[in-house]
Structures are given as C-alpha cells and as structure tokens.
Structure 1
Amino acid sequence: MTAWLMYLGKDPKRVGGGYDDNSATHYSWDSRVPNATSVRVGDRIVLWDGESSLGLSVIETIETGTGTKDLSSCPKCGKADIAPRKTMTPTYRCWTKECRAEFDRPAVETVDVLTYRARYEAGWIDLHGHLTAPELRALCEEKKSQNALRRLHWDEFRARVESGRNATPLSVIDRAEDVIAGGHAESVVRVRKGQPAFRAALLTTFGEVCAFTGSMPATVLEAAHLYSYAKKSVHHASGGLLLRRDVHRLFDLGEIAIDPHTLTLDVAASTRAYPVYDRLHGRPLTVPVDAGHRKWLAKHWDMHRGSLVAIPAQTTGLLDPVTAQ
C-alpha cells in the first residue's frame, strides 16, 4: 500500500477549485490533478496545509463522480503556471521562465473532469503541527514536487512520528489497514442486505443514543454488529448496538472492547494516547443490554482481550448499564 502527502491549504488553485474537504473526514480531488488515479482504498494518507502536518489516516472508501473545472492559464503562452499578486498590478504574472507575462485576467477554460472523494474518518489521528513543511517535503519520494498528491516514504515518516518530543503511536493505523484489506471485499454486498431495517430496530430499542458516548444525532449513529456479519450474514436481535462512526471502527478493530462482567469500556493503551478516547476507558455502557448482547460481547472480548470465565446466564429482562455486574 502507498503512503501519500495530500495538500489541504489555502492555495488559490485549491480554493478556486471548489473542493469539498474536511481534514478529519474526507478529502477531494479531480482527474486533472497529477496522481489522481493512483490513490487506492487502504492507502495511508498524511494531510498538511503547506506549513505543517494536520493528521493521518487510512482510506476507507473512494467515491467517484463527474463535474466541471475552470482552468486558468496565461493568455500569452497558455501555461497554467500563474498566480495572483496581492499588492502589485497587473494582478497576475506568468511564472513560466520563457514567458513572464503580466496581465489582469487569465484565460479560463471549463473542462469536464472525474471527481474523487476519499473518506477516512474512522482511523483519523490528529498530528496538527507535529511536522513542519520542510520535514514533510524531505520525507517525500520527490522532494521538490509541487503536486497536491505526493508519494511519501512511509517507514521514514512513521519513525519520525513515533519518536522525538511529540512521539505518537501509530498502531491504530496497522489495525485499520488489516480490517480494510481483509474484510471489506467479502462483505460489501452482504452487509447491506437488511441493514436499514436492522438499524431502524436498534433506533426503536435504544433511541438516538450511542452505546459508548451517549445521546447523539441519528445521522451519526451506525448499526454496529457485535459479531462478524461477514461470516454469519444474519442480523441477530441482540447482536447489535448503535455506535458513533469513529468508536464503531475502533470496536471493530478491538481497540475498544466491553468487559462482559462489568459492562464497562476497555480502551487499548495505544488508543488511550488520545484524550478523547482515554476519557471513555472504564465508563459503563450508556444503554441497557440483555443476555444475548452479553454473549456476543464476551466473544468479542475473548477475541481481542483473552479468555474470561463464563458469563452467568440471564434469561429475562434488560440489565441496567451501570449496576449490572
């Protein structure tokens, strides 16, 4: 898998391109951008704003579409190497060495393009300001490249991030890659069958509540299976909870597990390095669960935390999420 340094800043070409971006969730580009078709699901991406790093993640999906784009160029030589000047007139100058023309308005051509949007929010790690622009450029395969999408030396980048003053562990990235590489292709069709009804049933049972973090808008809640749906292809009545997207992914990765005896959250040490998830460690579930839920939670715990003694049988009723022990 390839690692990419992706520019998300205020360069006029990017701002004028009308890209829909959110640094922690998704990044957009089009077919006119160099390396546009080389980016793949499962690739690692590092975002920066031209001055320092913003964060990194692993691409979960890439959405494609069609659109148009206005291309500005020098009216004299036709090259696109132009930039506006804030205080000088004429407003524009062509930076092509053989041209150097100055002009007030560029030539504009509207062209058809393919559009791409990478989504990666579940594995997002905030690295705002961890690495400077010179440090990031030095880690690129082509250090003098001006492209928005640049190949990155991943091993060198990782060593730099995981050491030094602002050392940050990246083990979550490894787990995310395993899930994306090993599970998506098999389950992408089957996972959608009956999924809307399954989610609707969970909303009826629990309301608009994330089982880990509490009340949330329904739009951010996902129906999370407590078992591998790709293997079973069945929506068990007590086999799911509503989870916010990011904690859903961490649960799938085993970075968050539920102690089936105490019904409290156990957050892996690597993920507790981030305060937003460290605060969840040891907290009780925010919704009541029954014996079926506890059975599946015990299997999940056994897979990711090791064996536990058998869970006492519970045959009726819901268990209070705080007092059930």
Structure 2
Amino acid sequence: MIAVEERKRAGDGYDDDPFRHYSWDERVPNAATVAVGDVIALWDTKTLLGVSVIEAIEKGRGEKILQSCPFCGRADVAPRKTMTPEYKCWKCKEEFSEPATRSITVTTYRSRHEAAWIDLRGLASGAELRQLCEKPGSQLSLRRLRWDDFRARIERGKAPTPLTIVDTLREIVAGGHRETTVRARVGQPAFREDLLTTFGSVCAFTGPGPEQALEAAHLYSYAANGRHYKGGGLLLRRDLHRLFDLGLIAVNPETQTVDVSGDLACYPTYAQLQGRPLSVAITIDHRKWLGKHWNMHRCARDRLESRKSRQVHSA
C-alpha cells in the first residue's frame, strides 16, 4: 500500500511519525483491509519518504470532527487559501465562512513499523509513486501499491537500494515473532562525543580515520525509544553506517568479525571486509546489541532462504 504522511499539517488530528507509525480511522477507505505483515510506503505527496513492514496495528476508539456544508449538509467542503469566504461547497456551490461541525466516535487504527524502516527520501517523485499505484488516479489516503513494480524502481533506480530487509521482517512477522531490528542512526552530539572518548577516531570496521567522516551508529532503534543504552553504539564511516543500517553489513557476535552480504561481492572495497575482526574492543553489552542485529539480518534471512529452497524442491 501507499499512504500520505503530511495530513497532520493540515490539522486533521493525526499524530503520524513516518519512521514509527501511521494513523487512520474507520472512515478512511480501505481502513479495515490493512494488515500486519503488509508493506507500507509513505510519502508527503511530493516525494517518497521511506518503506517498511507493519509489525502491529493498535486498535482503539476516538472522537472525529466532521465538517459539512451548512446549506446542503454534504461533506464535500474545503478551505481556500486566498479567496473569501474561506469555504466553498463543491456540491451546491455555496460559499461560507465556517462549516457546520459535529463529533462522532470512530474506530481508530495505528500501525507500528519502525523495525524495518528504510529511509528512501527523494528516490521517487510523487508523480512516479502515483503511477505505481493500482489506481494511479486515486485520491485516497490508503492506496494499493504495485509492490513488484515499486521494488524494481527502487532497487534498479539511479541510487539502487536493496529492500531485502523487507523480506526478512515479513518472514519474522509471519512466524509470530516480535523481534526489534536494529536501525543505525546518527545520535545526538553528546552520544557521539562519548563514543569518540571511548574509542578515539576509529571506525569499528576499518580502523583509524578522520573524525569528520565518522558517525555515531546506534546498535538498536534509537527512534523507537529515544534512549542511549550502555554499549549501544559504535563509530562507523558514513557509507558503512548506511550499509549496516540496511543489514548489508553485520557483525558476527561470536567471532566479532565483519560479515558482508553477497549483494556487495562485486564491490572490492566492501568485499575485502569479509571476515575482518573489529578494529575496536567491544563489551558484553555491545555483543548483545550486535547479536540482535545479527539475528534479524542473518539468522532470519537464512530461515527465509531455507524455506524458499524447500518450496522449490517440493514443487
């Protein structure tokens, strides 16, 4: 599916945070068809923001304010930016300063999708995304997306970005697990300073490097909880930080060596990191967080590939 994120700026009462969750209610077309395990792509009407997998849907009750034309009672009214009166009914064509309002109780829905969030900001325009919907002319907030075509556009575009983490998390969700993936993100300045004090100007994968090129990588989803955990960060070169984020590079928590995905085998700069020991000494806490990352991006992937292999042989 594809969903619009920018509604909250229009004062519709939604509390969307594209990295973590998306909200809607029963009056939104397709409201009840959204399910755990669905892929969700979010945009702001102008450009793609990112993509993820719905891990859970929270259901509740809430109040919704409905606006309607005070003359004919139809809900087809909208404010105008430059003309007065501010409102016009597009059904009966009457103009008015304030719409009629009433409050109703509705079923509310809120997705949780922070685990597999992949930031794809700017990799596809609004016009391109509309054409990738099953109904390009639709104006609905929740729209069905042609996933295979969308995936091909992202993975083979000008800035190819693999979406394999989506397959991994869909497998985990289908199996009933609720593990939380690790999403490496730039931490706050104090967090980075603490890592520089601890490790010096050293990339955990490649060794000493200029401080300006090193980012503070959280070894868990900082966006999901906003906390800095002990042993929860390492310094990584910017490009490696991004690849770690996508699971294309991981760390074996037992051997403390770098594991490079086969997707990067054609790039010597990254392929040569395979099996390389970490350049810094890590603690038990680091190993714990790296273990969670490994379970998501390696163990779950192996289970998925094993299941696909069994399906091929049984066909």
Shorter-normalised TM range: 0.5 to 0.7
Q: Matches of residues 7-18 of structure 1 in structure 2 within 5 Å?
A: 7-10=4-7, 15-18=10-13
- The one-letter code sitting in structure 1 at the alignment partner of 2:100 is A
Question: Which among 37, 40, 43 is matched to residue 45 of structure 1?
Answer: 40
What runs of 5+ residues in structure 2 fail to find an aligned partner?
180-216, 234-240, 266-275, 303-315
SS in 1 for 2:168: helix
Indicate if the aligned counterparts of 1:44 and 1:58 stay in contact, CA closer than 8 A. yes
Indicate if the aligned counterparts of 1:52 and 1:133 stay in contact, CA closer than 8 A. yes
Instruction: State TM-score, norm by structure 1.
Output: 0.62
Q: 1:119: which partner in 2? A: 112
Q: Distance in 2 between matches of 1:18 and 1:121?
A: 21
Taking structure 1 as reference, are residues 218 and 286 closer, same or farther at Cα in structure 2, changes over 3 Å only? farther
Q: Distance in 1 between matches of 2:126 and 2:262?
A: 30
- The one-letter code sitting in structure 1 at the alignment partner of 2:74 is K
Q: Over aligned residue pairs, what C-alpha RMSD do you find? A: 4.1
Q: 1:68: which partner in 2? A: 63
Q: Matches of residues 1-325 of structure 1 in structure 2 within 5 Å?
A: 4-10=1-7, 15-96=10-91, 99-184=92-177, 213=218, 219-220=225-226, 256-261=250-255, 263-264=256-257, 266=259, 268=261, 283=278, 288-289=283-284
SS in 1 for 2:16: coil
Taking structure 1 as reference, are residues 11 and 258 closer, same or farther at Cα in structure 2, changes over 3 Å only? closer
Q: 1:323: which partner in 2? A: none
Q: Distance in 1 between matches of 2:142 and 2:252?
A: 39
SS in 1 for 2:122: coil
Give per-residue Cα distances to partners, 1:222-279, cap 9 Å, x unaligned: 99xxxxxxxxxxxxxxxxx9869xx9xx99x897342523x2454646699xxxxxxx
Q: Distance in 2 between matches of 1:152 and 1:133?
A: 13
Q: Distance in 1 between matches of 2:280 and 2:128?
A: 42
Indicate if the aligned counterparts of 2:51 and 2:117 stay in contact, CA closer than 8 A. yes
Give per-residue Cα distances to partners, 1:113-138, cap 9 Å, x unaligned: 11111011110111111111111111
Q: Kindly, what percent of the aligned residue pairs are identical? A: 44
Q: Distance in 1 between matches of 2:130 and 2:224?
A: 41
Give per-residue Cα distances to partners, 1:163-185, cap 9 Å, x unaligned: 1212211111111111111233x
- The one-letter code sitting in structure 1 at the alignment partner of 2:84 is T
Give per-residue Cα distances to partners, 1:1-57, cap 9 Å, x unaligned: xxx110111477xx3221111111111111111111110000001101111111100
- The one-letter code sitting in structure 1 at the alignment partner of 2:98 is R
Indicate if the aligned counterparts of 1:162 and 1:170 stay in contact, CA closer than 8 A. yes
Q: Distance in 2 between matches of 1:128 and 1:70?
A: 32
SS in 1 for 2:104: strand
Q: Distance in 1 between matches of 2:300 and 2:11?
A: 47
Shift of 1:63: 0.8
Instruction: State TM-score, norm by structure 2.
Output: 0.64
Indicate if the aligned counterparts of 1:7 and 1:49 stay in contact, CA closer than 8 A. yes
Shift of 1:109: 1.0
Q: 2:309: which partner in 1? A: none
Alignment length (residue pairs): 242
Q: Distance in 2 between matches of 1:160 and 1:41?
A: 24
Shift of 1:82: 1.5
